[in-house]
Each structure stands twice: as C-alpha cells, then as structure tokens.
C-alpha cells in the first residue's frame, strides 16, 4: 500500500506542476491523462468535457489510445456510461460486452477491456469526465478511485481558471461596446470545424444551424462501406453530425449523378450500420428538417424579426433539468407549492414540474400593469388554494426591475407561508431597481428585449421553441417592453 501511496503522491505532484505551467490546455490535459493512467496501472486515459448546451463529450486530453479509437465517432454522454453524467463513478469489467459502452465493437478491436469513468464536477454540475482503460481485465481499488477523484478535482479547477480568463477577455471586449456578457464561454470545437467548406451549400447549412444554436461537427466520422482482401476499399464520410439529434447529414446539389451516387452510399451505410441515423438533404430540405425537429422556423417574417437566438431549445431544457435537480435536493422530504404568474411562465412551469422528483402543487396568479386606479400592479387573479404554513416557490419567466415581483412577494408573505423562494428562468440584472434574492436562476441576460419560450411581443412569439433577441426596429423600445418584474 505504501508503494501505491507513493505512486499517487508522485503523480499528483507532477499533475499540480503541469497544471500551473504555461503549457497549452491540450498539453496540460495530455500530461494529466498520462500521469493518472500510470498511477493506477492503466494502459490509456481520456479527459473529456461536455459541450455546455448538449450532452456529448469533447476530448481535451488523452494518453495511450489509438487514433482509430479516438475517431470512432462523438460520444453521447447519455448513451455512453450515462451514470457518469449523473455524478457517479462507473466501472466496466468488460467493455466488449457492456451495452453502456457506445462503440463496444471498436473497443474489442482496440483491445479495450476494463474501463473506470469518473465525473468532473464544477459547482455541483457534471462538466466532463475522465476514463481510464486497460487491455486486460482489471479491478480498480478504492484507493485508485480516491486518487482519480482528486485528479478530476484538479481538472475542474483548471477548467474554472481557463473559463475565468475567457470571461475577462470577453467582458473587456464587450464593455467597449457597452454590452453585457450573456453566456458562459464554451470549449472550442474548432478542431472539428473546417477553415473552409467544400461547397457553398455546406457553409449555408452551417450558418443556419448556428443561428438556431444547433451544435454541429464537420465530417467527424468515416464509415467503411466495402472491403477488398481484408482492407477497406471504400469509405463514406457524411458532411455533418448533429449531436443533440444524433443525426448525420449529407448534403447534395441538384446534379442528378451526384444524387444517385450519394443515395447509393446512404442506402449502403444504413444496411451496414442500422443504428446510425442519417439523412440526405437537398437545399430545399434544410427548413423542413428544422421544422421536423421542432426548431421552427414558424414563418419567414417572424423568424426574420429575431435578431439572434440567445438560448436554444436544448440549452433551455438542459438548464431546466439542472434547476429541477437542485430544487428536488433542497426540498427533499417536503411538498412544495409552485406559483406562476400568467402568461409568460407557462412553458417554463410546464417543463420544470415534470423534472422535479417531489410532490408538487401548482397554482397561478395573473396581474395587470399600470392600472387606471393609480396602482402600478393589480392582481387580476389570486391563488385558488391556501399557502399558509406551506413551502412556496415563486416561478418567474423573467425578473427585470424587480418592482412587480416585490409587490407579489409582499402579497404572498401576507398569507404566512412556511417558506418563500424564487425560481426564475431569466435574470435581467442590468435593470434591477429592487434587490430581491433569487434562489434559482436559469440564465442571466443582457438589457435587450427577448421573446420565445412563453415570452411575447404583442402576444406573438410565445410559441418559438428558443429564446431570442427581437430586432430593435421591431420592438422600437430598447429593453423596456419586457414586463416590469
């Protein structure tokens, strides 16, 4: 045990030294992967991080793994050892047979036998994972587990430091433009994105995906289609992979010969790889694809009035799950009353109550602003049930100045609830006039008018599946039109 402890100590010493070096992030994580693997007598290691808005893994550093294994295709964190995404350490005794291993056939070909996966956790959220691999069946000890948990904690600190530097750079740039930083920095995916596209249709498709904030990878996987004398004779590399849809996309032009040849390859790929979802798209099929998967567009005029998609559907759903998990943990053993203010909160309320693993009672209020009787806020519909001595969670779509919310909280406190907290999807802190503690916050947004996901402008745009910034020339008033909450 003494020798193993010494091995852990030496490895941690090397890891902390490289973590404080001026090396590139790739070199730092590669070095950490090597030290971690050697310390637990593993043959390989991979450190990966979740792309923030989706649940697939982007490799940050590796050791001892072949290019074939690393380029076997994107790893879906919900399909490949999904328990790691829930914060659990996962052991796989035989990677060639365990159905939780996403590409177990390639694991067998590359002599991957046992795997230990450890989550990288930052601020109570799983942001990535470290996996160590062995060529022979191997059982990892509790001391191995403890050592690797220390290593992933260091990885989380490195990520936090890297993000902080990125935030400072972005804030400096945006302060010069008098705008607000609206989103967390994302891990670069430039290695999977081309400097230029082979065809203008690919560039056009990529721009369309970027507008809707649909993450994409360019040609991330090549599929062997036929073999000759044991060697691959023909391969097919689809143009795009959309991780959140688990969909490969091959684009084609109107040239019939190309359409015929690509149709042949797509049919052959489906026969050889029946679990792979792939579509052959012509230019006119772009919009149809987005409509099918619920991204819109909901009419050219309406979409044209949205300047930018601020948060995509998948970003919203991921954040809703995180908030629901925190609420379920904080109110464990309690029954809560969730109170929403109609009508902007309807989408957020409907989604979050489905993710909370507690008994929940739902009630709604309705208000009108700037009443003719001199009141700034008037309650037009009060609660249907008593909240006296009950745990109340006020659910808001957006908190702006805080004036309306402050009025409503005063009203609710008069009913003597046992506790009263606030959960809001959007926090527009730049316009805050009344300082109100917000216990659960989805996103902080800039001082701009937003629509979608229940939020409207003149009763339109509520049914957009994303949250977008409305063009200033449409709203006419810069930031004053979202409710005075």
- Return the SS3 of 75: strand
> In this structure, is residue 182 part of a structural domain?
no
Contact, 405 vs 396, CB < 8 A?
Answer: yes
> In this structure, is residue 130 part of a structural domain?
yes
> Binning pLDDT at 50, 70 and 90, where does residue 202 land?
confident
Looking at the structure, do residues 357 and 471 belong to the same domain, yes or no? Answer: yes
CA distance 54 to 322: 13
Looking at the structure, do residues 28 and 55 belong to the same domain, yes or no? Answer: yes
Looking at the structure, do residues 238 and 344 belong to the same domain, yes or no? Answer: no
pLDDT tens digit sequence for 39-87: 999 999 999 888 755 567 878 889 998 766 776 666 777 778 888 888 8
> In this structure, is residue 177 part of a structural domain?
no
Looking at the structure, do residues 256 and 123 belong to the same domain, yes or no? Answer: no
Contact, 360 vs 442, CB < 8 A?
Answer: no
CA distance 373 to 392: 30
- DSSP letter for 136, please: S
Token pair for residue 191? Answer: 């290695």
Last residue of a domain, one of 265, 295, 325: 295
Looking at the structure, do residues 313 and 249 belong to the same domain, yes or no? Answer: no
Q: Please tell me the total count of domains within the chain.
A: 3
C-alpha separations of 300 from 281, 304, 305, 328, 449 in Å: 20, 6, 9, 40, 20
Looking at the structure, do residues 349 and 211 belong to the same domain, yes or no? Answer: no
CA distance 272 to 274: 6
pLDDT tens digit sequence for 150-159: 999 999 998 8
E strand map for 28-134: 44-50, 56-63, 75-76, 90-92, 114-122, 125-134
> Binning pLDDT at 50, 70 and 90, where does residue 188 land?
very low
Write down the pLDDT at residue 474.
59
> In this structure, is residue 108 part of a structural domain?
yes
Among candidate residues 239, 351, 397, 400, the one labeled active-site is 400
pLDDT tens digit sequence for 297-324: 554 445 557 778 888 888 898 899 999 9
> In this structure, is residue 157 part of a structural domain?
yes
**Section 215-224 average pLDDT:** 81
> Binning pLDDT at 50, 70 and 90, where does residue 483 land?
very low
Contact, 133 vs 114, CB < 8 A?
Answer: yes
Looking at the structure, do residues 242 and 283 belong to the same domain, yes or no? Answer: yes
pLDDT tens digit sequence for 320-377: 999 999 999 999 999 999 999 988 899 999 999 999 999 999 999 998 865 444 456 7
- Return the SS3 of 281: strand
| Residue 255 reports pLDDT greater than 80 | no
> Binning pLDDT at 50, 70 and 90, where does residue 184 land?
very low
> Binning pLDDT at 50, 70 and 90, where does residue 3 land?
low
Q: Where residue 48 sits, what CATH number does that domain have?
A: 3.30.450.40
Looking at the structure, do residues 253 and 318 belong to the same domain, yes or no? Answer: no
pLDDT tens digit sequence for 234-254: 888 898 988 777 889 998 876
Instruction: List the one residue out of 206, 205, 199 whose CA is nearest residue 286.
Output: 205
**Section 374-389 average pLDDT:** 83
Residue with the bigger pLDDT between 96 and 76: it is 96
Token pair for residue 117? Answer: 């996966």
Write down the pLDDT at residue 374.
45
> In this structure, is residue 482 part of a structural domain?
no
Write down the pLDDT at residue 30.
93
Looking at the structure, do residues 233 and 160 belong to the same domain, yes or no? Answer: no
C-alpha separations of 19 from 59, 156, 386 in Å: 17, 11, 55
**Section 8-13 average pLDDT:** 92
E strand map for 321-390: 336-342, 360-369, 377-381
Last residue of a domain, one of 241, 268, 295: 295
Last residue of a domain, one of 252, 273, 295: 295
Token pair for residue 247? Answer: 């969909």
Q: Where residue 457 sits, what CATH number does that domain have?
A: 3.40.50.2020
**Section 275-293 average pLDDT:** 75
Write down the pLDDT at residue 150.
95
Write down the pLDDT at residue 217.
83
Looking at the structure, do residues 314 and 288 belong to the same domain, yes or no? Answer: no
> In this structure, is residue 303 part of a structural domain?
no
Looking at the structure, do residues 92 and 117 belong to the same domain, yes or no? Answer: yes
Average pLDDT taken over every residue of the chain: 81
Residue 94 annotated as catalytic: no
Write down the pLDDT at residue 431.
80
Q: Do the bridges between strand 450-451 and strand 440-444 make them parallel or antiparallel, or are there none, so unpaired? A: unpaired
Looking at the structure, do residues 50 and 129 belong to the same domain, yes or no? Answer: yes
Q: Where residue 266 sits, what CATH number does that domain have?
A: 3.40.960
Write down the pLDDT at residue 222.
79
For residue 24, give its domain range. Answer: 2-167
> Binning pLDDT at 50, 70 and 90, where does residue 90 land?
very high
Report which listed range, 4-18, 193-207, 404-418, is most confident.
404-418
Q: Which residue has the tokens 């599929």?
A: 223
> In this structure, is residue 273 part of a structural domain?
yes
């Amino acid at each position: 045990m003494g020798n193993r402890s010494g091995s852990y100590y030496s490895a941690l010493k090397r890891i902390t030294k490289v973590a404080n070096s001026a090396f590139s992030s790739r070199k730092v994580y590669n070095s950490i992967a090597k030290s971690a693997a050697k310390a637990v007598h593993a043959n390989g290691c991979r450190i990966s991080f979740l792309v923030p808005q989706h649940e697939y893994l982007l490799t940050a550093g590796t050791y001892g793994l072949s290019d074939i294994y690393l380029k076997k295709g994107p790893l879906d964190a919900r399909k490949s050892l999904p328990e790691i995404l829930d914060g659990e350490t996962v052991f796989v005794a035989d990677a060639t047979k365990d159905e939780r291993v996403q590409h177990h056939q390639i694991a067998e070909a590359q002599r991957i036998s046992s795997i230990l996966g450890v989550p990288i956790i930052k601020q109570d959220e799983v942001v990535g994972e470290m996996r160590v691999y062995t060529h022979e069946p191997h059982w990892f000890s509790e001391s191995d587990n403890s050592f690797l948990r220390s290593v992933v904690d260091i990885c989380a600190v490195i990520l936090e430091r890297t993000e902080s530097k990125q935030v400072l750079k972005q804030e400096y740039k945006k302060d010069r433009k008098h705008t607000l930083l609206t989103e967390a920095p994302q891990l670069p995916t430039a290695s999977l994105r081309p400097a230029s596209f082979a065809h203008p249709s690919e560039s056009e498709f990529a721009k369309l995906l970027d507008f809707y904030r649909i993450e994409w990878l360019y040609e991330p996987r090549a599929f062997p289609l036929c073999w000759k004398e044991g060697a691959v004779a023909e391969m097919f590399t689809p143009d795009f992979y959309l991780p959140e849809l688990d969909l490969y996309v091959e684009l084609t032009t109107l040239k019939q010969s190309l359409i015929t040849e690509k149709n042949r390859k797509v049919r052959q790929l489906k026969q050889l790889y029946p679990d792979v979802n792939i579509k052959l798209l012509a230019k006119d099929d772009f919009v149809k694809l987005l409509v099918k998967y619920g991204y819109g567009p909901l009419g050219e005029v309406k979409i044209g009035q949205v300047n930018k998609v601020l948060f995509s559907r998948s970003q919203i759903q991921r954040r809703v799950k995180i908030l629901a998990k925190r609420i379920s943990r904080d109110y464990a053993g309690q029954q809560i009353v969730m109170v929403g203010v109609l009508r902007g909160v309807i989408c957020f309320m409907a989604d979050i109550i489905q993710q909370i693993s507690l008994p929940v009672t739902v009630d709604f209020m309705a208000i009108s602003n700037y009443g003719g009787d001199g009141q700034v806020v008037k309650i037009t519909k009060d609660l249907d049930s008593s909240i006296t001595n009950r745990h109340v969670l006020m659910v808001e779509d957006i908190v702006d100045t805080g004036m309306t919310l402050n009025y409503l909280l005063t009203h609710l406190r008069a009913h003597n609830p046992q506790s009263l907290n606030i959960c809001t999807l959007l926090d527009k802190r730049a316009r805050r006039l009344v300082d109100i503690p917000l216990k659960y916050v989805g996103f902080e947004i800039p001082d701009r008018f937003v629509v979608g996901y229940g939020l409207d402008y003149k009763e339109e745009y509520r049914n957009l599946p994303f949250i977008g910034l409305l063009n200033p020339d449409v709203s006419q008033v810069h930031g004053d039109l979202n409710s005075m909450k």
